[in-house]
Amino acid sequence: MLRDITIGQFFPGDSPVHRMDSRLKLILNLAFLVIIFIADNYLALGISAAFVLSLYIISGISLKFIFRSLKPIMPLIIITSVLNLFLLTGEGEPIFKLGFITIYWQAIDTTAFMILRLFVLIAGMSLLTYTTSPIVLTDAIERLLSPLKYIRFPVHELAMMMTIAMRFIPTLIEETDKIVLAQKARGANFEEGNLITRIKAFIPIIVPLFVSAFKRANELALAMECRCYHGGDGRTKLRQPKLAIVDLFAFLVFLLFTIIIILTNIYF
């Protein structure tokens, strides 16, 4: 039952978006975040939405995943929208008034704009994890953060931890499956009782899982030592990322997009 969980939401592919250098993708993603917050009119947001949409089409990711990416932030959007709607005041007459609730036209305008902005933002940022495998992403983070090594920030250790965590997630899920079955065979009941009994029922799963995880960690450390692991000093990498034509092209497209957004900001 647990085995079908996929880690991250990576969809392998061979589109230009997939082939882009992961470091560039990460940086452009952050730049995109800034630009979306710079865009201050509906036209600019509309252009951004069209830009994101066309990227989805180019990368061959089904458009329904746009909605899937929005799902987790829905509660946040709803709560802030409601607060915005009722608390913001504007000039002129309120268009709606009932007891202490007053709604101004400007509040509706601001809220709608905020919702749209968040939608475009999340859809665009999700494209990064949709088109980049976790391992490549970790690698990109390690490389981009590597200057921090000079201020003693443990960049390599962090990346190594992320890699090992990703490597062991499926193994530990499998293990959890086995423990659940073993405890069920001994008469454990996970389906009945109130919340507290159900939570308590998970203790016999968590404890063996932790014991085994520590044992695995110990063995892994030995195996790593046998293969001459000694931290990040003097380490090389099998994969050497190289900037290619596709990256230059992506950069230029993104630059064009940025200029258009800034121009729309100025003229509209």
**Residue 164 interacts with another protein (CB under 8 A)?**
yes
**Residue 242 interacts with another protein (CB under 8 A)?**
no
**Residue 227 interacts with another protein (CB under 8 A)?**
yes
Closer CB to another protein, 194 or 240, in the complex:
240
Write the single-letter amino acid at 249. Answer: F
**Residue 163 interacts with another protein (CB under 8 A)?**
yes
* Distance in Å, CB of 46 to another protein, minimum: 39
CB-based contacts of 185-191 (< 8 A; 24+ apart in sequence): none
**Residue 166 interacts with another protein (CB under 8 A)?**
yes
Query: Are the C-beta atoms of 27 and 189 separated by less than 8 Å?
Result: no
* Distance in Å, CB of 224 to another protein, minimum: 6
**Residue 203 interacts with another protein (CB under 8 A)?**
no
**Residue 237 interacts with another protein (CB under 8 A)?**
yes
**Residue 235 interacts with another protein (CB under 8 A)?**
yes
Distances (CA, A) of 265 to 27, 110, 114, 115, 255: 23, 16, 16, 19, 15
**Residue 134 interacts with another protein (CB under 8 A)?**
yes
Q: Which of 174, 178, 199, 210 binds another protein (CB under 8 A)?
A: 174
**Residue 135 interacts with another protein (CB under 8 A)?**
yes
**Residue 157 interacts with another protein (CB under 8 A)?**
no
Strand ranges, E, within the chain: 96-98, 101-103
Find the part of the chain contacting another protein (CB under 8 A) among 82-90, 110-118, 145-153, 232-240.
232-240
Write the single-letter amino acid at 96. Answer: F
Strand ranges, E, within 32-163: 96-98, 101-103
* Distance in Å, CB of 247 to another protein, minimum: 19
- Secondary structure of residue 8 in the 3-state scheme: coil
Closer CB to another protein, 20 or 136, in the complex:
136
Number of C-beta neighbours around residue 152 at 10 A: 7
* Residue with token string 């709608």: 112
Number of C-beta neighbours around residue 159 at 10 A: 20
* Distance in Å, CB of 265 to another protein, minimum: 42
Number of C-beta neighbours around residue 21 at 10 A: 20
* Distance in Å, CB of 179 to another protein, minimum: 15
- Who's near 27: CB < 8 A, 6+ residues apart? 144
Task: By CB under 8 A, name the binding residues for another protein.
Answer: 134-135, 163-164, 166-167, 170-171, 174, 216, 219-220, 222-230, 234-240
